[in-house]
A and B are shown apart, each in its own frame.
Chain A
Amino acid sequence: MADPIVDRVKSSLGSMALNIENPRLHRIYATVPREQIVAATTALHKEFDTRYICVIGARDIGDNIELVYPFALEKEERLIVLKTLVPKSDPNIDTISKVIPGAVLYEREAFEMLGVNFRDHPQMEILFLPETWGDKGNPLRKDWTDPRKAEGGEQ
């Protein structure tokens, strides 16, 4: 049975959506280009009043970093996941925290763990890593090795 919410996601995202999947009830995945992440978030916000973002997930997939933005809808009871790719050679993307204030901390986590820079973020600083971290890199990148290991120091 076709989910009417999927059609609403399709119409609100319009040409921004490169791909929309509905693998099972309660889950809708939409891929958008990174330049349009704020526009797509705003469109969903207008259509569904999305305020609640669960998390921002980021992962290293070779030359790119994949970002996922799962929005839980309060009334429609769906999880809409916006996905986008950010190339490692130019790891910049606009912040969505102007539209969704709850995204502030999650963007900082993606920044420190995978080195994605969120433009216009109110406070683009490390979140979980220790203050003494310095330039030891982004630990969740696949090619990251612990520099403290090379020094032979404690880990």
Chain B
Amino acid sequence: MAEVTIPIGPIHPALKEPERFMITIEGETVVAADVRIGHIHRGIEKLAESKTYIQNLYLTERICGICSFTHTTNFSQATEEILGIEVPKRGVYLRTIVNELERIHSHLLWIGVAGHEMGFDTLFMYSWDDREIVQDLLEIMTGNRVNYAYNTIGGVRRDMSPEIAQKALKAMDKLEVAMQKYIDIGLNEDTILKRTQGVGVLSPADARRLTAVGPRLRASGIKYDVRKADPHAAYDEVPFEVITSDTHDVHGQYVVRALETLESIKMVRWMVTNLPDGDYRVKTPRKVPEGESFSRTEAPRGEDIHWLVANGTDKPERLKIRAPTYANIANVAFNLKGAHIADVPMIVAGIDPCMGCMDRVIIIDADKKTQTVTDEAGLWKFANDWYANGGKK
């Protein structure tokens, strides 16, 4: 049967972020997949070198619109490590609380997106409605719904009053009831089972080889979570379980995310109840002495790492950021090959891709024929020549 290549994107009604897929199909089976993603590279690493540490907090916040807090946590932790500053316990706990609230809202968002991708829009409506509970709580706590501007070098910028703590506990009760509903739906709903079971199967060996991270890795049965493996913030004190699944498919990812959200709810409750007294931030110098540090956090989508090198001035020497989708995109390209074309959206949605974080990645299959891409300058030249010759080549 003849092979057909279908281009999807970068701008396409079915896509939420700019990315381009060149999917070569034979019949209904994908034989080659070329993912060319992230037409939104913003040069943040270069920009970071020309901004002060405080300005960079706001810059790193804007790497992603969903997991913004994990980037500022990483940046603050890296800077604090070089400065040799110990953040007060209360500040660490508040930071961890917002980190977990972010995970809850991100996972609820994913459940909605996954429902939407499989044509189950009712699930999308319900889960995004319940997501408002945590969004409201974030707004009360930090002042913002999306880019919270809550972290700062040396702690957090606002305290949590007893009234807000009460509201948080009430919100967690509500969310727990809601999450039980999504777990029930995920385990029993025919639409979800039919569209996710056996789709995008990634064996543990492949997950390791292709450097999968986050829920994708844990859905492949590997018990690895940066919160346990490299404890940061208050994660070495908060009790929680690392959730894994042995089904290795997209359904496993649904289960991992849903159960992880329940764990996060318990963690938030535990932290709000056991919130230490005292200061929530310390003053830090503007200039950071020479040094370097690696900071890792478990973002909702997986491991996020910042490598910061300081040179003694008030601006970083180098900031390298590796967001989770960048690590996960290799296994998506691997899983797309051989998949049914109708499963493509589920496989891509499975890792909860965040193109804004990842910037721009191109993966081209080795056995795929090369294609020529005419660049802008070439096109201009062609057009000018064409007109100069009176419409002849």
Contacts and interface: CB of A to CB of B under 8 A. Distances in A.
Contacts of B270: none
Nearest to B208: A51
A92 to B, nearest CB: 21
Contacts of B222: 74
Nearest to A126: B362
A112 to B, nearest CB: 10
A54 B303 contact: yes
Given A51-B211, A105-B326, A57 B375 contact: no
Contacts of A116: none
B359 A55 contact: no
B46 A105 contact: no
B229 A68 contact: no
A123 interface: yes
B376 A132 contact: yes
Contact of B373 (A74, A127, A131): A131
A7 B327 CA distance: 30
B45 A140 contact: yes
B375 A131 contact: yes
A57 B209 contact: no
B34 to A, nearest CB: 12
Contacts of B45: 113, 140
Given A70-B294, A128-B359, A59 B210 contact: no
A102 B211 contact: yes
A55 B320 CA distance: 9
Contacts of B366: 122-123
Contacts of A59: 309, 317-318, 320
Nearest to A70: B294
A17 interface: no
B127 to A, nearest CB: 31
B235 interface: no
B361 interface: yes
Contacts of B360: 127-129
A77 interface: yes
Given A79-B296, A102-B210, A128-B38, A72 B376 contact: no
A140 B46 contact: yes
A102 B328 CA distance: 10
Contacts, number: 87
Given A74-B222, A79-B230, A101-B209, A54 B46 contact: no
Contacts of A77: 228-230
A118 B190 CA distance: 49
A20 interface: no
Interface in B217-276: 222, 224, 228-230
A146 B173 CA distance: 54
Contacts of B376: 132
A33 B361 CA distance: 30
Interface of chain A, main secondary structure: mixed
Nearest to B376: A132
Interface in A69-95: 70, 72, 74, 77, 79, 81
Nearest to A51: B208
Contacts of B361: 105, 127-128
A64 to B, nearest CB: 13
Interface string B343-378: 000000000000000011111101000000101110
A143 B320 CA distance: 18
Given A59-B317, A122-B366, A128 B41 contact: yes
B340 interface: no
A131 B379 CA distance: 13
A55 B294 CA distance: 11
A48 interface: no
B209 A139 contact: no
B322 interface: yes
B296 A74 contact: no
Contact of B307 (A26, A55, A74, A104): A55
A31 B362 CA distance: 31
Contacts of B230: 26, 72, 77, 79
Contacts of B322: 54-55, 106
A6 interface: no
B379 to A, nearest CB: 10
A54 B297 CA distance: 12
Nearest to B231: A26
Nearest to B226: A72
A54 B366 CA distance: 24
B199 interface: no
Given A77-B229, A105-B330, A128-B41, A57 B307 contact: yes
11 contacts: A52-B208, A54-B305, A70-B305, A77-B228, A79-B294, A81-B294, A102-B209, A102-B327, A123-B366, A131-B373, A139-B46
Closest 4 CB pairs of A and B: A102-B211, A55-B322, A128-B360, A59-B318
Given A72-B296, A122-B366, A131-B375, 6 more contacts: A70-B294, A102-B330, A105-B330, A128-B359, A132-B375, A132-B376
